[in-house]
Structure 1
Amino acid sequence: MGDRESPCALVVMGVSGSGKSTIAGRLAVRLGWRYEDGDKFHPASNVAKMSAGQPLTDEDRWPWLRAIAAEIDRTCAAHERAVIACSALKRAYRDILVHGRDDVRIIFLDGTQHLIAARLASRRGHFMPSGLLTSQFRTLEPPAADERAITVAIDRTVETIVDNIFSQLDLDRP
């Protein structure tokens, strides 16, 4: 494995509708790790803004991202492992979540705006209106090579996507 630590946390990122919750949840089951939905770390004011169709500002996001980063630090310090679904659309956001740790990996769910718009159109009961998708794609900064992200195409079955991620993880195995 070299000088890199086996991950204690995986952050599954992508725009709304890319499958973060589904993929992160299935991956957590496959790994036997805890699953966390990053949305639960949003303050109520952020949920209200998104429900009203208003994009969040960076100022809105900082406390949310710091709360997730604190959960990652707590998880790793307790020798636990977690898979966290979080949009993490910008490099600056991922830098807060990872903050230089070698034991946190980013997984980028990569899909076209057309495919994701079709998925969002069929969703019910989610607080992200599909009209914000264009804004999310404008904001999206795909991970750079130095972020060591695992990028997977989402135009496949959930099982195939999870298999693809699993095969690329550098895990300590007995």
Structure 2
Amino acid sequence: MKMGKGIPLSDQDRIPWLCNLHDILLRDVSSGQHVVLACSALKKMYRDILIRGKDGAALKHEESGEKERLAEVQLLVVHLRGSFEVISGRLLKRKGHFMPPELLQSQFETLEPPAAPENFIQVSVDSSLSEVIATVMETLKMKSESFLISGPQQN
């Protein structure tokens, strides 16, 4: 595994994995399940793939000129926002994780925080775990959607 060796993943490494996650999300959401996916979907393109699959965007319908809708997953992106120092400190305390703390800088460099028109909320990692959960749950009460946790991860 590249990350275990301290090598950042490329788009080519991530895209097939993201497509598989889209298919799993679509299957589970279509069957009526509520889904939580925790992953570092650092780029908008990655989040688009999670929503729309490998094409990442609606296709143009050739005959009518209308946009054909691909099978989409409705996501609420929960962007866990925190400073490099805070997240780095937490990573250094983590034992037995596949991602070495040395890769955190590459994740910050890759990160494209969610922005409009994406469906997202930002939650500070400086908040307590119970505050983070309360914020997410309150948002979910207002929006009954599946959601994705994005951004540099910490435990």
> Which band: TM-score by shorter chain?
0.7 to 0.9
Question: Paired residue for 1:83, among 31, 36, 41?
Answer: 36
CA distance in 2, matches of 1:102, 1:81: 11
Question: Paired residue for 1:136, among 107, 121, 124?
Answer: 107
Structure 2 contact 29–73 (Cα < 8 Å) conserved:
no
TM-score normalized by the length of structure 1? 0.69
TM-score normalized by the length of structure 2? 0.77
Residue 112 of structure 1: aligned partner? 83
Question: Paired residue for 1:155, among 112, 126, 143?
Answer: 126
Which protein shows a greater Rg?
Answer: 2
Residue 67 of structure 2: aligned partner? none
Q: Which has the higher helix share?
A: 1
Deviation, structure 1 residue 103: 2.5
Question: Paired residue for 2:17, among 64, 67, 92?
Answer: 64
SS at match of 1:135: helix
C-alpha RMSD over aligned residues: 1.3
CA distance in 1, matches of 2:86, 2:29: 35
Structure 2 contact 81–125 (Cα < 8 Å) conserved:
yes
SS at match of 1:147: coil
CA distance in 1, matches of 2:109, 2:74: 29
Correspondence 1:73 to 2:44: no
Instruction: Structure 1: state its 5+ residue gaps.
Output: 1-47
Q: Across the two proteins, how many residue pairs are aligned to each other?
A: 125
Residue deviations 1:14-48 (CA, integer Å, cap 9, x gap):
xxxxxxxxxxxxxxxxxxxxxxxxxxxxxxxxxx1
What's the % identity of the aligned pairs? 42
Deviation, structure 1 residue 150: 1.2
Deviation, structure 1 residue 81: 1.2
Instruction: Structure 2: state its 5+ residue gaps.
Output: 58-71, 145-155
SS at match of 2:97: coil
CA distance in 1, matches of 2:124, 2:20: 28
CA distance in 2, matches of 1:149, 1:65: 18
Structure 2 contact 50–73 (Cα < 8 Å) conserved:
no
SS at match of 2:95: coil
